[in-house]
């Protein structure tokens, strides 16, 4: 069993510091009138999971760090208020190419690994970065979270997003219900790509089960748009709420206590620990989440992250890992033709 892949040094997607600073910037951008310091420390991601003293120290460090990057935040010490300085922001046309505009529209929904899309979005975001003309950076699709990856290539992802737009089409793909599980063919009428707790999902109508289903994008492969038209209308209700109910399916969310394995790099688990509560003894509390989500987190970070409790979550992780090791051993004992060695 190989340990979870660790990001290269400097990979900002796995930096809790970068996540905290981006969260601060997004919060300030949402409120042109400014935010009170105590509200930031209680509410903004990265500050609200540590002690008040640590959060205040982080904020004192983050404001000059943002200034060094060209983003000025005015700190009114008398009123304990922070305001984003927009005076130097660019307001003219950034000059997107047609290709950049299309990639940027997709990037607003999801982050992906495909190099062809990454190059386009890098150029587009570089032009967009100085612009702050929107009155509100948040919308009902959710906040962009760092940490989850999408393995679909540019063509498959573009096909999926187009299937969501009129004229909507049914989509087929292979899906693993759980990490290391066997992939099965699924057919859905996709409604949206949503972000839940830092993970990307596709929510829609499952044709075979005639019900709402939500699929983790990291487990979707070989996405194909069919010729069949979608027949189920997209609900008017908030699709993130629908997706979350679909995932839970009556299961009560619980919390878990985790710790890093000896010698583990914290950056390898930054997507989990960034929103965790530091318990101060080398452990963190994550959640609340469903048991399945907690098991997934443990499996995805096997070798780096240890689930201390609850016991049923830990036992399911251990059982799954043992089954994977046993399957690997059986494969090693077989010849290329599938015959057992004598």
- Reported as half-sphere exposure (CB side, CA atoms, 13 A), residue 292 has a value of 13
Q: Which residue has the higher pLDDT, 135 or 78?
A: 78
| Residue 144 backbone zone (phi > 0: left; psi -120 to 50: alpha; other: beta) | beta
Percent of the chain with pLDDT over 90: 28
Count other Cβ atoms within 10 Å, centred on residue 60: 11
Burial 69-80 (b: 16+ CB within 10 A, else e): eebebeeeeeee
Q: Are 33 and 16 in contact (CB under 8 A)?
A: no
CATH number at 154-248:
2.30.30
285-294: average pLDDT? 87
Q: How far apart are CA 217 and CA 175, in angstroms?
A: 9
Q: How far apart are CA 232 and CA 204, in angstroms?
A: 9
pLDDT at residue number 334: 58
| Own/partner pairs, 58-62, CB within 8 angstroms, 24+ separation | 58/20, 59/24, 62/20, 62/21, 62/24
Domain ranges of the chain: 11-84, 98-144, 154-248, 254-331
CATH number at 11-84:
1.10.10
Distance of CA 288 to the CA centre of its chain: 16
The predicted-structure confidence for 131-160, as pLDDT tens digits, reads as follows: 433 323 233 333 333 445 666 777 888 889
The predicted-structure confidence for 203-244, as pLDDT tens digits, reads as follows: 999 999 999 999 988 889 899 999 999 999 999 888 888 998
């Amino acid at each position: 069993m190989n340990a979870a892949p660790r990001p290269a040094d400097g990979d900002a997607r796995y930096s809790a510091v970068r996540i905290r600073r981006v969260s601060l910037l997004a919060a300030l951008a949402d409120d042109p009138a400014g935010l009170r310091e105590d509200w930031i420390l209680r509410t903004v991601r990265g500050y609200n999971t540590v002690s008040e003293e640590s959060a205040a120290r982080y904020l004192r460090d983050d404001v000059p760090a943002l200034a060094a990057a060209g983003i000025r935040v005015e700190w009114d010490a008398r009123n304990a208020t922070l305001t984003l300085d927009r005076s130097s922001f660019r307001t003219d046309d950034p000059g997107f190419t047609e290709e950049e505009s299309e990639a940027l529209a997709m990037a607003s929904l999801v982050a992906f690994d495909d190099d062809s899309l990454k190059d386009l979005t890098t150029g587009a975001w570089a032009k967009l970065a100085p612009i702050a003309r929107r009155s509100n950076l948040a919308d009902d699709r959710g906040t962009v979270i760092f940490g989850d990856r999408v393995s679909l290539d540019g063509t498959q992802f573009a096909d999926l997003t187009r299937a969501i737009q009129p004229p909507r089409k049914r989509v087929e793909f292979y899906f693993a219900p759980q990490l290391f599980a066997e992939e099965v063919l699924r057919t859905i009428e996709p409604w949206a790509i949503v972000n839940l707790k830092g993970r990307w999902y596709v929510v829609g109508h499952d044709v075979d089960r005639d019900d709402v289903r939500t699929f983790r994008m990291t487990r979707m492969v070989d996405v194909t748009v069919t010729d069949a038209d979608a027949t189920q209308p997209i609900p008017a209700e908030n699709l993130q709420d629908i997706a979350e109910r679909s995932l839970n399916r009556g299961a009560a969310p619980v919390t878990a206590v985790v710790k890093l394995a000896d010698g583990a790099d914290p950056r390898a688990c930054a997507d989990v620990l960034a929103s965790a509560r530091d318990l101060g003894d080398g452990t963190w509390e994550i959640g609340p989440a469903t048991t399945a989500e907690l098991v997934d987190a443990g499996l995805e970070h096997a070798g780096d992250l240890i689930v201390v409790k609850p016991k049923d979550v830990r036992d399911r992780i251990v059982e799954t890992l043992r089954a994977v090791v046993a399957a690997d051993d059986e494969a090693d004992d077989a010849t290329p033709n599938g015959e057992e060695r004598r």
